[in-house]
Amino acid sequence: MEYIGQKAKEYVDKCAREAIAFLKENYDETWDANLLCLWKKPGEKRLDERREENYRRHLGAFHFLFARHNERFDVFLKDCLCADDGGSPRIRFTKDDFTKEEWKMVKQAQDFCVRQTKLRPYGACYSLPNVSEPILTERLTLRPPTIEDFREIRRRFQADKEGRIAYCGPKEKKAYPKECFDFVIERNADKKLLGFVGTGRGNELEYFVFKEHRSNGYATEAVKAFCSAAFSGKLMYPEPTPDRTVFDKGQAVSFSAITLTVLADNEASAKVAEKSGFVLEGLYEKESYLSPYGEFDTLHYHLIKEEKNG
Helices (H), 129-198: 147-158, 161-167
Which residue range(s) make up the domain with 165?
6-309
Helices (H), the chain: 6-26, 49-68, 78-81, 100-117, 147-158, 161-167, 218-231, 267-275, 305-309
What 3-state DSSP class applies to 73?
coil
**What was the pLDDT predicted at 267?**
92
Domain count across the chain: 1
178 with 77: CB under 8 angstroms? no
DSSP letter, residue 216: S
Question: Does residue 188 sit within a domain?
Answer: yes
> CA-to-CA distance for 147 and 263, rounded, in angstroms?
28
Task: Quickly count helices (H) and strands (E) in the chain.
Answer: 9, 13
Question: Does residue 303 sit within a domain?
Answer: yes
With vertex at residue 4, the alpha carbon angle to CA 31 and CA 141, rounded to the nearest 5 degrees, is 90
**What was the pLDDT predicted at 215?**
92
173 with 79: CB under 8 angstroms? yes
CATH number at residue 22: 3.40.630.30
**What was the pLDDT predicted at 220?**
97
**What was the pLDDT predicted at 39?**
42
**What was the pLDDT predicted at 235?**
86
98-156 pLDDT, tens per residue?
Answer: 788 777 766 665 565 455 444 433 333 344 567 789 999 999 999 988 767 766 776 77
Question: Does residue 92 sit within a domain?
Answer: yes
Question: Does residue 1 sit within a domain?
Answer: no
**What was the pLDDT predicted at 100?**
82
**What was the pLDDT predicted at 54?**
60
Strand order across the 296-304 sheet:
135-136, 140-143, 181-187, 193-199, 204-209, 257-263, 296-304, 279-287
Low-confidence ranges of the chain (pLDDT < 70): 1-94, 105-129, 147, 150-151, 154, 157-181, 200-202, 238-250, 286-295, 307-310
Question: Does residue 280 sit within a domain?
Answer: yes
**What was the pLDDT predicted at 126?**
40
> CA-to-CA distance for 194 and 215, rounded, in angstroms?
12
60 with 110: CB under 8 angstroms? no
Structure pTM? 0.58
**What was the pLDDT predicted at 308?**
60
User: Beta partners for 253?
Assistant: 235
